[in-house]
Structure 1
Amino acid sequence: MSRRYKNLFIMLKKCILKHKKITICIFVIMLIFFNSAKKWIDRRNAMLEMYEPIIVEFPLRGEWLSPNTPGTKVPSHGTNQLGTRYAYDFIQVDWNRIGTPAYRVGVMQYLFSGVKLSDYYCWGQEVYSPCDGIVVGAEDGYAENEKTNLLADMSNAYKNAHYFDPEKDDIQSVAGNYVIIKYSENVYAALCHLQTGSIQVSVGQMIKKGEVIGRVGHSGNSFAPHLHFQLMDSSDISVANGVPCAFEQYEIFRDNEWQIIENGIPTDKDRIRFW
């Protein structure tokens, strides 16, 4: 320890000893405050999970996998920020290849030279409105990276997860190109990371369940082309809380056959199909 920091430590120790009672009181008050804050957050999250999930239509067509889903863990993305507590990510994979990759090329190319977006199974797939409602947010024009690369994408994801500041940073740096639909009072659907130039709706437009709104892309804080979907209690992603969500009907492949699931929440192992 340097002389400077040693002297500072000695002064701090003397101050604590001199004002022992005051220091203990401050410490106890801080402990009570943080404990109360944690209990309040836990109660709020528990109350949210007491509610029945909002039922919407599956926003994609074909076969899909959800590597991040509230059917496996909550919060599904490891945080409650940006309304992501009950969010889903959807990708398409090759179920017949070892490791069920999401791209057509070999894993070595992904690790070292990168994969073109067009080599991903889901890139460019149509995205559909999960509900009737009104479009309250639609942002396009955010550029996608031409390729995915393990190190670059991990670095980008880490930076946005740990250093994003909603008061300073553009929400598109995280959400990319997105559409937000008001489903009902305090329930909004967000569909993010859409393909640049693919959004087919505009703010103020009334929309019906099943209408095409855009295409799956790789914009914003995206590890690979995928659809990020969530329900939330505000049209402003930066301050929203997540809202539980389930899908009114889809199929999963189980025991060598397709089985219909109603009002379900898929897990990260489910092979999902919806037409």
Structure 2
Amino acid sequence: MKVLPEDFAKLFNKRNFNILYLALTSDYKALMSEEEFVTYANDFKNNSGDFELKFHNSIHYKIDRYCFIDDKGHHMITAVFNQNGEIGGIQFDLHEQFETDNDYTKNKFKFPINDDWFVLWGGTNAFLNYHYPFKNQRYAYDLIQSISGHAHNGLETKISSYFTYGKDVVAPLKGEVVDVYLHQPDNFIGIPNMDQPMGNAVVIKHEHDEYSMVAHLQAGSIIVRVGDIVEQGDLLGQAGNSGASNEPHLHFQVTDGRDLIESKSLRIRFEDYKEDPVQAETVRGV
């Protein structure tokens, strides 16, 4: 059964959850029974208002994402539709905005890359950026190389088939290398290492006590060490799939402290962009 994205909110608002369940892909149904889905959706609706379509984008080939926000402005639903009109995923979230959205870095950075990359996650809401609810990662970016909407050349289980894998990662701004995380293997596709979430990573201290981090780098690729002074554009290593990473991508963020767990993520002021780049846009760095 198919449900049009423009009809999703109408069905949800009328609590026609059984109809929505019929529109789910078989893979999604295997994760949750109809009874479980209806119960969960009903509980979420009890605490929210009526939903309306607000955002739409595409971050994978023939996969479209839609964001519905309720009229109270407090809850949101993300629904993922495939090319067959089936719903491949539904996520229920709070719709939050934080005062820290106004706190930009004092420094102006460039993306730590040297050609065109695709913004997989980035922006100031949970639809555009899954990091957003978390204080220490709120304004982080996840970047990938994408060709015609594809992240790989067709062999999705082979790490070297991903266009991101092995691409150069460079310093986003002049600074001192203060932490280097090494010795983490690249993961098999789809099996993240949650025990070492950053994987292979580099942390650089910049003026105004701002700290940039690039993470999930390729095993054995990092060429800098603690104490090195790097200039903007200097090579740090190559993109990989280490740490909490399902498939090759580059995590980039700036915080107000060296402790990446306790520090606050800062909204990045970019040298080359007047408006913040967001999910589904293409960006260029140094």
TM-score range, shorter chain: 0.5 to 0.7
Deviation at 1:272, TM superposition (A): 2.5
Deviation at 1:236, TM superposition (A): 1.4
In structure 2, C-alpha distance between the alignment counterparts of 1:71 and 1:124, rounded to whole Å: 29
1:195, 1:245 → 2: CA distance?
24
Supply the RMSD in Å over aligned alpha carbons. Answer: 2.3
Contact 1:80 1:241 (8 Å CA) reproduced: no
Indicate which of 128, 151, 157 corresponds to 1:102.
151
Which residue of 1 is the match for residue 79 of structure 2?
Answer: none
Higher normalized helix content (fraction of residues): 1
Q: Which runs of 5+ in 2 are unaligned?
A: 1-95
Residue 76 and residue 184 in structure 1: after superposition, are their counterparts in 2 closer, same or farther (change >3 A)?
A: farther
TM-score by length of 2: 0.61
1:50 partner letter: N
Contact 1:93/1:102 (8 A) holds in 2: yes
**Native 8 Å contact 1:76 1:87 kept in 2:** no
Aligned residue type for 2:253: Q
Deviation at 1:186, TM superposition (A): 3.0
Residue 270 of structure 1 deviates from its aligned partner by 1.1
Give 1:136 shift. 0.5
Q: Structure 2: how far apart are the matches of 1:234 and 1:184? A: 12
> Could you tell me the TM-score, scaled by structure 1's length?
0.63
2:224 equivalent in structure 1: 201
Which is greater in Rg?
A: 1
Distance 1:238 1:71, change over 3 A: closer
**From 272, 278, 286, the counterpart of 1:267:** 278
Gaps in structure 1 of 5+ consecutive residues: 1-41, 161-168, 250-261
- How far apart are the structure 2 equivalents of 1:273 and 1:76? 22
Match of 1:219 among 235, 242, 267: 242
| TM alignment of 1:64-213, pairs within 5 A | 64-70=117-123, 73=126, 76-81=130-135, 83-95=136-148, 100-105=149-154, 110=156, 115-145=157-187, 147-149=188-190, 152-153=191-192, 160=194, 173-213=196-236
Greater relative contact order (Cα 8 A, min sep 6): structure 1 or 2? 1
Structure 1 268/121 Cα, relative in aligned 2: closer, same or farther at 3 Å?
same
Shift of 1:88: 0.2
Residues 187-230 of structure 1 show CA distances to partners (whole Å, capped at 9, x for unaligned) of: 10010001011111111111111100111010000021010000
Aligned residue pairs total: 189
Q: Give the conservation status (yes or no) of the 8 Å contact 1:68–1:89.
A: yes
2:125/2:132 contact within 8 Å kept: no
For the residue of structure 1 that corresponds to 2:257, the secondary structure is: coil
Q: Which residue of 2 aligns with 1:230?
A: 253
Instruction: Output the amino acid matched with 1:239.
Output: E
Residue identity over aligned pairs, in percent, reads 30
